[in-house]
Each structure stands twice: as C-alpha cells, then as structure tokens.
Structure 1
C-alpha cells in the first residue's frame, strides 16, 4: 500500500465532538488494517490461552509445585498480564487513536505494562539461574533452591518491579493526575526523558541480557563436560550408546539455548536500541509502537520455549482440555513417566528438556 492509499484509509474525526479541546481521532480502515488488527488480536488471544494453561497446570497439580515450576509460573503470570491487558489496549489504540478511559486508567495500564515487562524479563533471569545451579551442582540443588526461597525471591522481584515502575512514571510526569498534561483531551501519551531511558536500559536490558547470555553459555559448557565425563566411564557397547546419547544431548541443548537467546535478543534489542538512539521517545510514536509489539511477542513465545516442550505440560493440557481436572483427586495424578528417576542424571545434562 503506497502513501496515497494509506492516507485515504485514515479518516480524521474527533474523540469527543462535544468538547472543544478534544483530540483528533484517526480511524484506520481498509482491508490491510483489518487484517493487521485480526492478526494482533489472535496473538493476544493465543498469549492469554497459552499462559493460562501454564498457570492452571502448575497451580492445580501438586506434583508440579517445585521451585523451577514456580519460576515458570511467575513468567506465565507476567506474560498473562501482557496478553490480557497490554495487548488489547494497544490494539484498540491502533484502531482508534483516542483514549476514552481518563488519566487514572491511562496511568494504571502504563504501570501494568512496565510491571509485566519487567517481571517477565527477570523471571527469565531467575529461570536461567535455576538451571545453572541444577547443572553445576545437581547433588545440592534441592538444598540450595527451595520452594520457600523461590517464593521470597519472586515476591521481592515483583515488588521491586512495581516500585521501579511507579518511580519511573513519576520521574516522567505520568503518575499523578496533577502531573499529566495532555496536549488535547482524549490521549494517553508517555513522554520518556533521556536519563530515565538510560537507567531503564541498564536495569531492564543490559543487566538481564548479560546475565542470561553468561549463564546459558556456562550451562552449555557444563553440559558438554558432564556428557564427556559420562562417556569416559562407559565401555564397550554401553559406551557407544552413551556417546550417541551425549552427542544428541549436546546438539539438542545447543539448539535450544540458541533459540532462547535468539528470540530474547530479537524481541528486546530493537526497543531499547531505538529508545537510546531516538532524539525523543513517546508511547505513540510509530517506531515505539512497532518495536514495543516486537517485545510484546516475547510473551507469546515464552510459554512455548519454557513450558510446551515439557512432557508434563502436554499431559496436564490433556487433563485440562478434557475437563479431567474436575475429577476427584486429579491434583495428585502422576504427570511424569514411571521411570523418571532412571533419567534423573540425564535430565541435568539435558537441562532444557524433560
């Protein structure tokens, strides 16, 4: 669609025709925009459904009440907020540039956006830390990582994300209703200041990005070392079979680590890079909207990378879809293979899968 056709598909109206200071309404119509809104709506629905399945699975089945799954539950909760509130609001604003809910609702949805994005990022960091401990010190993992410690850590992390979001918005004059000064009636715009952008990039991009990259690199190195140690103690036929398994494990781990890191960087680098390089950043700029949606997509990919590949998740989904979770004692059902303990050591080698 060229520029002329795009301009023809935008009809200018007013958000509140009865108010003189009303903002202009830009209604995007046409088949191209309709397909875009349908596509984004499908992403939002899929994000909600996938993360809701993860939350129900881990919450319902007692066998899944482990520190690792608690971290995945935190990630799913943050991504659920993204799909349930942030994505729909942004879709409506793309369709209709007006904001009809007032300044308080604008502040609330902005806080939810920042909290969910921050909590999602740091949940991924905690998962990386958890997996590193599981691989580096599997014998003492159960004592070093407990359910109580995980709960306390997540409470502190979510509290920090909420507090940071409040301070961040206050510094950018978008927290108190008396601070907000709109150019016209019917808009919800956050204008970010450079110092706050720099701090945000350090705390919520450079720090988590570096941590995830370093930890997953160490996980892969340790997995290779343990796989070679297993091959070294085998002999004859067992040695050859174990070698095949170890090579397969290394290959699978390398591919999975590559996918996790690639998706993470692809989703987040454009948003923060544009925030740093752009002269002025507002929440309604075309560049911000494009890269923000790319970051939102990370919430759709997370349940796929961190849960769907697990056998216990596929089994629990069957229980949920067939409504078997409403049966008596369904919460204590066994979701793991009967020979799970025989593969406990292999699980530490192939830490990204079960």
Structure 2
C-alpha cells in the first residue's frame, strides 16, 4: 500500500553517516508525524509542569506535610521522571528510530525508565494501605501512620523497585553494555523474554492490583457502613457532627485516590494483555510503542486528577504561578480553610 495515503514522506538515511556500520534510520517527517511530535511534546511538557506543581506544593506548604500527601509526592516524583526523561527519549526514537547515546546509556536507560513506573505502582499500593488504616481503623491511624514512618516506607519502596528492575533487566540480558547485542551501530532494542514478561505480569501488576482492589473494596464497604451510621446521627449533638465530617472527609479522600488507581489500571492493562500474545516483546515493536505511550500518559493524568478533586492543589498552584511562594511566610499559607 502506498504510504502517501497516510500523508507520510519517509526518507532513508544513516544514523551516523561517518560510520560504515551505522544503522539505517527512517526519517518520519510527514504531516501526521509532525502533528504527533508536537502533540507528544506538549504531553511531555505538561507532565513535567503539572507534576512540578504537585512536588513544589507538597514540599513547600507545611499544611500539606501529611502522610497521604507524602505518598502523593512520591507518585509525582515518579511521574516527573517519566515526563522529563522517558517521554523525550521515546519521542526521539519514534521520530527516526535511532539511538544516539551509546551502549552505556542504552543499558542504563531501561533502568531509568522502568524504576519510576514501578515506583508509581508501589506508591499506589502504599496509598491504598494508608487509606485502609485511615478509614477502617481511625483510632490508631495517628500512631501507626506518621510522616517519619511514611518517609522511611517510601525510601524502602523505591529501593525495592530499583532492586527488582535491576534483577529483571539482568535476567533479560540488558543490564551491562557487554550484554547488549545489536545488528548495527545506533540501535538500542530491549528484548523481553515471554516467560519473564509473564512473571513480571504476576509480580508487578496482577498481585499489586489485586491487593489494591481488595483494600479498596473493604474501604468502600466500611465507608458505606459509616455513612449509614452518620446519617442516623444527623440530628445529634455537635460531637456527632464532627464525627460525620471526619468520616465524610476520609471517605471522599478514598474515592479521590481510588480514581487515580483505577485510571492507572485502565492505562496499563492493554500493554500486559498484548504482551501475552507474543513470544518476545521488543522495544521496536508497534505494540510496545502504542501501549507504551498509553502507559506514559498515566503520568500526565495523575496531576489532572489532583487538580479536579483537590482544592489544596488548585490553591497552591495559584500561589506558585503568581510567585507568592517567595513571600517570607508563604510556607504557612492556609490552603484548606475548612480546617479552621
């Protein structure tokens, strides 16, 4: 079929013209690819900008220094790395199929790209556990879940993700430059063996998602029971009204964070389903490209969900954009008036 039907003009060149063993690159410069490049560039910039807003907000404003927000901060850091490093590199490879950064970078890049994505899921698991304790066992929440403990757990979670991804890449022969085999100079292809794709599916997707779904099913069941109990006390004394407000607040928080989790699952499921249909999955395949970018867009969606659901994020973003955070007392600004 003629490529002109798609409005694409593809010319053949070499990745490194001065190297006789250089790979042939496809320069995709048609109108459709130009639009795609501009669109993905905007996605990358928005991902970096929005997640920076989340990171600066939680880091700067003391009122936001809570265990829940620290977990959101961890998620935002992972999403920032995706927008800052993973998306631009993927765009370069998408536009001309060449790897310009050498074998060492080729071996390190999958580590840099896989760890943030694994850490995102780890953060979502920790968020689900934190919400479970907050809703189902609120009396012990303040003693079990503290800022210090949450920080240590986040560090441990990132360390475990780094360890898992390192082992995973080592098994798939893509951890050291000497393990990488390429047909020509300027190629960086990650080949994932089918067996280990299945193992990764169970270890880093099915099991965590089952844990998250079970925890949230319990959370919403308890929340409904609490809502019924609170409804029966609507005409009670003032302390009952405070109990109502507290229960309602925890339930709303669980629903908001539950939305983040279910969006995550919806964007990741296509990749894992498709990966089971092939013997090996390579980073140069169409499946990897399409569903890989679907995964990456999750890093853009998360801060948008915060903007929609969280009033503190909208308030803090306004202070940041208007440069009011440079005021001497800005870290003590009140972002949640109802707490007074």
Q: Tell me the TM-score normalized by structure 2.
A: 0.91
Counterpart for residue 107 of structure 1:
107
Q: Verify the 8 A CA contact 2:115 2:161 in the aligned structure 1.
A: yes
For residue 327 of structure 1, report the CA deviation from its aligned partner: 0.9
Runs (4+) off by over 6 Å: 248-255
Counterpart for residue 312 of structure 2:
312
Q: Verify the 8 A CA contact 1:134 1:141 in the aligned structure 2.
A: yes
Q: What value does the CA root-mean-square deviation take over the aligned residues?
A: 2.7
For residue 279 of structure 1, report the CA deviation from its aligned partner: 2.1
- Closer/same/farther in 2, CA of residues 133 and 249 from structure 1, 3 Å limit: closer
For residue 221 of structure 1, report the CA deviation from its aligned partner: 1.2
String of CA shifts for 1:225-254, please: whole Å, max 9, x gaps: 101001122349x9xx99xx99x9999789
Counterpart for residue 95 of structure 1:
95
Query: In structure 1, how many angstroms separate the alpha carbons of the residues matched to 2:122 and 2:307?
Result: 17
Query: In structure 1, how many angstroms separate the alpha carbons of the residues matched to 2:77 and 2:146?
Result: 20
Query: In structure 1, how many angstroms separate the alpha carbons of the residues matched to 2:255 and 2:155?
Result: 32
- List gaps (5 residues or longer) in structure 2: none
Counterpart for residue 174 of structure 2:
174
Query: In structure 2, how many angstroms separate the alpha carbons of the residues matched to 1:252 and 1:336?
Result: 15
For residue 178 of structure 1, report the CA deviation from its aligned partner: 1.0
SS at 1:100's partner residue?
Answer: coil
Counterpart for residue 289 of structure 1:
289
String of CA shifts for 1:24-51, please: whole Å, max 9, x gaps: 1011111111111111111111110111
Counterpart for residue 58 of structure 2:
58
1:79 aligns with 2:41: no
Query: In structure 1, how many angstroms separate the alpha carbons of the residues matched to 2:255 and 2:66?
Result: 26
For residue 317 of structure 1, report the CA deviation from its aligned partner: 1.0
SS at 2:181's partner residue?
Answer: coil
Q: How does 1:85-234 map to 2 (within 5 A)?
A: 85-234=85-234
SS at 2:188's partner residue?
Answer: coil
For residue 166 of structure 1, report the CA deviation from its aligned partner: 1.4
For residue 335 of structure 1, report the CA deviation from its aligned partner: 1.7
Query: In structure 2, how many angstroms separate the alpha carbons of the residues matched to 1:167 and 1:94?
Result: 27
Number of positions where the alignment pairs a residue of Structure 1 with one of Structure 2: 335
Choose 308-317 or 139-148, whichever is displaced more.
308-317
Q: Verify the 8 A CA contact 2:124 2:261 in the aligned structure 1.
A: no
- List gaps (5 residues or longer) in structure 1: 342-354
Counterpart for residue 352 of structure 1:
none
SS at 2:177's partner residue?
Answer: coil
String of CA shifts for 1:291-339, please: whole Å, max 9, x gaps: 01111111111122346521111111111111111111211222221x4
For residue 158 of structure 1, report the CA deviation from its aligned partner: 0.5
Choose 226-235 or 116-125, whichever is displaced more.
226-235
String of CA shifts for 1:128-158, please: whole Å, max 9, x gaps: 1111111111222111111121111111111
